[in-house]
Each structure stands twice: as structure tokens, then as C-alpha cells.
Amino acid sequence: MLFVRRSIDVTFIGKETVKLTDHRVTVRIATNGDPNIGSAQLQIYGLTTDRINQLATFAQAFMTPDYNYKIQVDAGDEVNGMNMVFFGNITQAWADFQGMPDIPFHVLAYATPTVQASPSGQNWNSYSGPTDVAKMLQPLAGMMGLSLENSGVNVKLTNPYHFGSPFRQAQLIREAADINMVFENKIMAIWPRNKPRDGQGPLISEQTGMVADPSFTDYGVIVRQEFSTPVKYGVNMTIKSKIEKANGPWSIKQIDYNLAANMPNGPWFVTLSGSKPDQLIRQPLQI
């Protein structure tokens, strides 16, 4: 690993914008499985009592409208610069005063997109005849404050009707069209089920910071790499190692960031799980 200064900036966006820099921060960020809603768990140290009072949820109800802060996490170093690794809605934020004087401020957040109500109050959409999936998702993404990234989806649904919030409607369309979808850093990305998402994936090798050789899972491989820049969910990574069966392209199905800044010997890794690019992986039905 390079001996460089590593930083994690945390920005709370809501009633006011509060950007925290140069704090001791640990963060775990995970994205895996449909509907591919990432989650983040953070511990931030060194906040004043006034700042804690401003940002804490104080055990309010889950996703209460009285607390509207969102969170953006940027991570990087002097070589690779700072890059966004997570953006989402805070569900819980609290300080643990039992460990005084070393008080961590805990944050739990999900990449569930911002849901904007339709100006007309309409919570349904219907179309006549065969209708392009991307055409239906584009306005829903806009209502959620997202950009739509389409990596080759050209499916049409016949006489579709969808109801509920924009997020729920997007999920109904995803299921009906049987496509991949991920909400990631202000983007709604879609791509065909048995193909990779567009974009440059990482090269995983000893020269690029691979930690030990890859291991095999029940459907593919798992490998850990020193973090440099964010990884896009669903793209192909390429492994180059001494384990020949692990080499070549793999479609990324799970991402786990484990990062810490201003902490001696803290982790700075991303763990990636992948399957063969043409292998169809379905999630179990939720009963």
C-alpha cells in the first residue's frame, strides 16, 4: 500500500449543508443484489455537542419527514484525488456518549433515491401499446433527482400500468422487464439481465493493489483490492493472478468498501464479488 494521506469527507445536505473534513472517519458501504440499494454505516469522531444536536435523529421514526438530511461520502488520497463513493438518505444518526471522551457519531444511510411527488399529485402512469422501458423510467428518475443511465436496455412492455411512488413504479417496471437496476451516486442505471453494465471496470492484480489471491464462491469469485477510485456496480472487472481459473472478466455482483481516515493502520480496501459476464444470477423470491 502507498504511504499517502487518505481522507474521507462527509457532507450532510438538508436544512443546511454541513461538510465535515479532516475528521477520523470509518465507513462501510455495501451494494449487492436486486433491487441494488446500497447502504452505508459511518462512525465520525471529533464532533462538537452543537454539531451532534444539529445532525442527530434522536431515535425519531424511520425516514421521518421531520429529518431530511441526506449524506454524501467522498474518499480519496493525494494520488487519486477525492471521489464520491456514496450518496443516500440518512435513516439513523446518533452519538454514543458511553465511550467518552472518545465519542463516535454513528450514521446509517441507504441509497434509496429522493422521492419527489408529482406536481399533479398523480401516483400512477399508464401507456397504450408497446412502450419502451427507458422511456417510462426517464421521467421517474427525474422525479427522484437522478440521471438515467441506459446500458443497452431496449425492452418494451405492452399496455403497462404502474402505481405508487416513483421509486415503487421503477421497481415494478424493473421486475416486469426483467432487467438489472442500481441506484448509485445520483444515477439510476439499467442494463440487460445477462450482460455487464457499460463502463470501464477495474483491473485486479498484484500491480494494482490486489490483496492475496482471489477465492471462489458458489457462483463466482471474490477478491480484495486496495481502494483507489470508486467501482461501478455491474461492470466487468478483470482479474490477473496466479490462480488461472480466476483470471479474466467477471461481472461485479457485490461491492464492499471498508475505509478509514486519520486512523493508524486503518483499512483502505474494496472487496468485489463477481460472476461470469454471461451467467444469469437471480435473487431468491421474498415471501
Compute the distance between CA of residue 153 and CA of residue 170 in angstroms, rounded to an integer.
14
Could you tell me the CA-to-CA distances from 29 to 169, 259, 271 in Å, in that order? 26, 9, 10
* 167-188: pLDDT as tens digits: 999 999 999 999 999 999 999 9
Residue 28 lies in a domain: yes
Tell me what pLDDT residue 282 has. 54
Residue 184 shares a structural domain with residue 141: yes
Domain boundary among 81, 110, 139: 110
Compute the distance between CA of residue 87 and CA of residue 186 in angstroms, rounded to an integer.
7
Residue 272 lies in a domain: no
Domain boundary among 86, 110, 134: 110
Residue 20 shares a structural domain with residue 95: yes
Domain boundary among 50, 75, 110: 110
pTM (2 d.p.): 0.90
Tell me what pLDDT residue 59 has. 74
Tell me what pLDDT residue 287 has. 36
Tell me what pLDDT residue 124 has. 87
| 204 touches 238 (CB < 8 A) | yes
For residues 16, 19, 24 and 27, what is the CA-based torsion angle, rounded to 10 degrees? 80
Residue 105 shares a structural domain with residue 11: yes
- Pairing assessment for the beta strands 70-77 and 6-13 based on DSSP bridges: antiparallel
Find the distance separating the first CA and the last CA of the chain, reported in whole Å.
45
Residue 134 lies in a domain: yes
Tell me what pLDDT residue 284 has. 44
Could you tell me the CA-to-CA distances from 186 to 41, 147, 275 in Å, in that order? 18, 7, 25
Tell me the residue range of the domain where 184 lies.
124-192
Q: Left if phi > 0, otherwise alpha if psi is -120 to 50, otherwise beta: which for 202?
A: beta
Q: Which amino acid is at 227?
A: F
Who's near 254: CB < 8 A, 6+ residues apart? 30, 31, 32, 33, 222, 271, 272, 273, 274
Residue 221 lies in a domain: no
Q: How many CB atoms lie within 10 A of CB 196?
A: 23
Residues of the chain below pLDDT 50? 284-287
Residue 106 shares a structural domain with residue 128: no
The total of structural domains in the chain comes to 2
Residue 103 shares a structural domain with residue 181: no
Q: How many CB atoms lie within 10 A of CB 10?
A: 24
Tell me what pLDDT residue 58 has. 82
Nearest 5°: phi and psi at 177? -85, -15
